[in-house]
Chains A and B, each alone.
Chain A
Amino acid sequence: MSLRRLLSSVALAAMTFGFLLPSLATAKDIELLNVSYDPTRELYKEFNAAFSQYWQARTGDTVTIQQSHGGAGKQARAVIDGLEADVVTLALAYDIDAIAEKADLLPADWQKRLPDNSAPYTSTIVFLVRKGNPKGVKDWNDLARPGISVITPNPKTSGGARWNYLAAWGYVLKKELGDLARVHDPKAAAEVAKANAKARQFVTALFKNVPVLDSGARGSTTTFVQRGIGDVFISWENEAYLAIKELGPGKFEIITPSISILAEPPVAVVDKVVDKHGTRSVAEAYLRFLYTKQGQELVAKHYYRPRHPEVAKRYRGQFVDVALFTIDDVFGGWKKAQQTHFADGGLFDQIYQPK
């Protein structure tokens, strides 16, 4: 570079700064930290850009949203231990409950603050099989058949895997009881107990077919897709679509079972952090933007099921209609499900206990 060109570029840079500085004085630079779980990377990458634009158009302020992704439990722990997240967008209400309970960073009734249980998008559990479905997998009962190899992450370390497990459990209850509402009917107690025993047998048989328990959902995807292990991969619907798109268009098929679980990944503003940072209004707007038509479009684009009726209608072709039940309906909420099934010595651990 010649000296003259160097000088002229320095001058240009100086002028640019000169023009920029006055405008910086009026518009604010805001930073938000969104602590999220693994499968939302692609969604929030696009959503953050859209929100920044929206916010700048509305207020003139520039918002930069920092993203942190990881296993949902690990992320919740980081927030509890002091990672200053303005908003959390995690896999389970249980994880945000833990933040409320252990660190008191937001009120215990956080879930009531936003519509739809604070879950602006939903998903469900489906099966990913190899092209042509060579093992003829159609529904949950096929997964417990001898000779089928099933891939799912470890429910002890992966939030997503807990949904898989509970969806399978719910399938049996529905089959045995006919109507899932009867789970809470005191008169049907004996029947429910019998159905639960059946479900336990079924889930045990299913997990006997699992050759590898990866510690996280994306690890399982790699095992199934890259390593070629397993006939069926139990997965979040959005992850299954993404895996097909990213890793093997035309190599896999999605099978939607007869009944599945309604996964409601919740979002929340972390009160103590936004009050400290002075970012409450923008953080709240950020989460509310998820519920707008534009936000819901992005949600649907990344294969999450939108809540917005209009958007849902438009994407009807993408999501197979399937009977869905919620954790609260069948298992009495996450806290109880966690205690009974996934705590140390719980029903999941008993599957692997030596007799």
Chain B
Amino acid sequence: MSHWKFKQRSVLPGFGLALGYTLLYLSLIVLIPLSALFFKTATMTWGRIWDTVSDPRVVASYRLTFGASLAAAATNAAFGFVVAWTLVRHHFPGKRLVDAVVDLPFALPTAVSGIALTALYAENGWIGRWLEPLGIQAAFSPLGVAIALTFIGLPFVVRTLQPALEDLDVEVEEAAASLGASRFETFRRIILPTVFPALLTGFALAFARALGEYGSVVFIAGNMPMKTEITPLLIIVKLEQYDYAGATAIAVVTLIASFAILLAINLIQWWSGYRYRIGG
């Protein structure tokens, strides 16, 4: 039972060096600095920590942050699927360009994205003026938060799905069709199960990134207490009062939640890959 050992045997060299360097760099850049959050939080008593992270206003911000992030990630999952599918399976003029701009939200500074989106979705903006007569307030509402989060998370789903879709075996689809499966059935029983892990990864990364986003959201949110305050804003509010420990306490809560989500996703991915390898 070799897998009970720390490491399975391999003829490849360099495991010690590679893992050692990885752990060293990870510790120096990520783990030790992040541990400062926990130590700072630990300067408060448990009661104070609990009061800070369970304050109604903070809880309202969790609801908005997690809700809007979920909505944004779900939107990106649905539309990202269509975009990825189109980019892989269809040809149309200007496709290269479309494929290239998908990564734009990574490069634009978040504040610029926020300002540009607010200008567009405010009542007098290019898009907002069409929504306003319909009674839809886009900027300065939870919807605005979701719009900003959709923007910044857009590349994740598309870019994780693209390779998976390219990897799909067209012959299996054709076999299914020749056996009389409808398009929908083929999609549900052949395509979806195969690309599901990739879709999930994209969803999770978009979701995780949305949870932490601050720069683009503060411009469009309106920042009304209990209504459109996101959790990172409340971290800033704590810092403004020189309450570093309070700020880190809230940060630790979101950090743990994000970590749990990412770990779950990675386990699902590993599990599906494992199943695939056994099956294959």
Question: Within A327-355, which residues are at the interface with B (CB < 8 Å)?
Answer: 342-345, 349, 351-354
A25: shortest Cβ distance to chain B, in Å? 43
* Across-interface contacts of A226 in B (CB, < 8 A): 119
How far, in whole Å, are A248 and B187 apart by their CA atoms in the complex? 57
* Across-interface contacts of A48 in B (CB, < 8 A): none
A352 and B57 form a contact (CB under 8 A): yes
- Given A154-B223, A219-B219, residue A227 in contact with residue B139 (CB < 8 A): yes
Q: Tell whether B140 is near chain A: CB-to-CB under 8 Å.
A: yes
B123 and A212 form a contact (CB under 8 A): no
* Across-interface contacts of B224 in A (CB, < 8 A): 211-213, 352
How far, in whole Å, are A212 and B224 apart by their CA atoms in the complex? 6
* Across-interface contacts of B123 in A (CB, < 8 A): 227-229
Q: Tell whether B102 is near chain A: CB-to-CB under 8 Å.
A: no
Chain B 220-251 interface mask (CB, 8 Å, partner A; 1/0): 00111110000001001111111100100000
Q: Tell whether B109 is near chain A: CB-to-CB under 8 Å.
A: no
How far, in whole Å, are A344 and B237 apart by their CA atoms in the complex? 9
Chain A 132-160 interface mask (CB, 8 Å, partner B; 1/0): 00000000000000000000001011000
B236 and A215 form a contact (CB under 8 A): yes
Q: Tell whether B273 is near chain A: CB-to-CB under 8 Å.
A: no
* Across-interface contacts of B236 in A (CB, < 8 A): 157, 215
A77 and B57 form a contact (CB under 8 A): no
Q: Closest residue of chain B to A158, judged by CB?
A: B240
Q: Which residues of A come within 8 Å of B, CB atoms? A: 71, 73-74, 77, 80, 98, 102, 154, 156-157, 211-215, 219, 226-229, 342-345, 349, 351-354
A227 and B122 form a contact (CB under 8 A): yes
A213 and B242 form a contact (CB under 8 A): no
Tally of chain B residues near chain A (CB < 8 A): 28
A156 and B55 form a contact (CB under 8 A): no
- Given A157-B236, A227-B122, residue A102 in contact with residue B242 (CB < 8 A): yes
Q: Tell whether B157 is near chain A: CB-to-CB under 8 Å.
A: no
- Given A157-B237, A229-B122, residue A213 in contact with residue B56 (CB < 8 A): no
A227: shortest Cβ distance to chain B, in Å? 4
Q: Pick from A215, A229, A349 the residue with the most CB of B within 10 Å.
A: A215
* Across-interface contacts of B242 in A (CB, < 8 A): 77, 80, 98, 102
Q: Closest residue of chain A to B225, judged by CB?
A: A352
* Across-interface contacts of A77 in B (CB, < 8 A): 239, 242
Q: Tell whether B150 is near chain A: CB-to-CB under 8 Å.
A: no
Q: Closest residue of chain B to A102, judged by CB?
A: B242
**Can you list 22 A-B contacts (CB < 8 A)?**
A74-B240, A77-B239, A154-B223, A156-B237, A157-B236, A211-B222, A212-B224, A213-B225, A227-B119, A227-B123, A227-B124, A228-B122, A228-B123, A228-B124, A229-B122, A229-B123, A344-B246, A345-B55, A349-B225, A351-B225, A352-B224, A353-B56
- Given A213-B223, A229-B122, residue A344 in contact with residue B139 (CB < 8 A): no
A210: shortest Cβ distance to chain B, in Å? 8
* Across-interface contacts of B240 in A (CB, < 8 A): 71, 73-74, 156-157
Q: Closest residue of chain A to B222, judged by CB?
A: A212
Q: Tell whether B218 is near chain A: CB-to-CB under 8 Å.
A: yes
Q: Tell whether B76 is near chain A: CB-to-CB under 8 Å.
A: no
Q: Closest residue of chain B to A345, judged by CB?
A: B55
* Across-interface contacts of A343 in B (CB, < 8 A): 241
* Across-interface contacts of A227 in B (CB, < 8 A): 118-119, 122-125, 139
A344 and B223 form a contact (CB under 8 A): no
How far, in whole Å, are A353 and B226 apart by their CA atoms in the complex? 8
Q: Pick from A211, A227, A349, A354 the residue with the most CB of B within 10 Å.
A: A227
How far, in whole Å, are A154 and B57 apart by their CA atoms in the complex? 15
Chain B 195-223 interface mask (CB, 8 Å, partner A; 1/0): 00000000000000000000000110011
Question: Within B85-143, which residues are at the interface with A (CB < 8 Å)?
Answer: 118-119, 122-125, 139-140
How far, in whole Å, are A214 and B228 apart by their CA atoms in the complex? 11
Q: Closest residue of chain B to A80, judged by CB?
A: B242
* Across-interface contacts of A351 in B (CB, < 8 A): 225
A156: shortest Cβ distance to chain B, in Å? 5
* Across-interface contacts of A73 in B (CB, < 8 A): 239-241
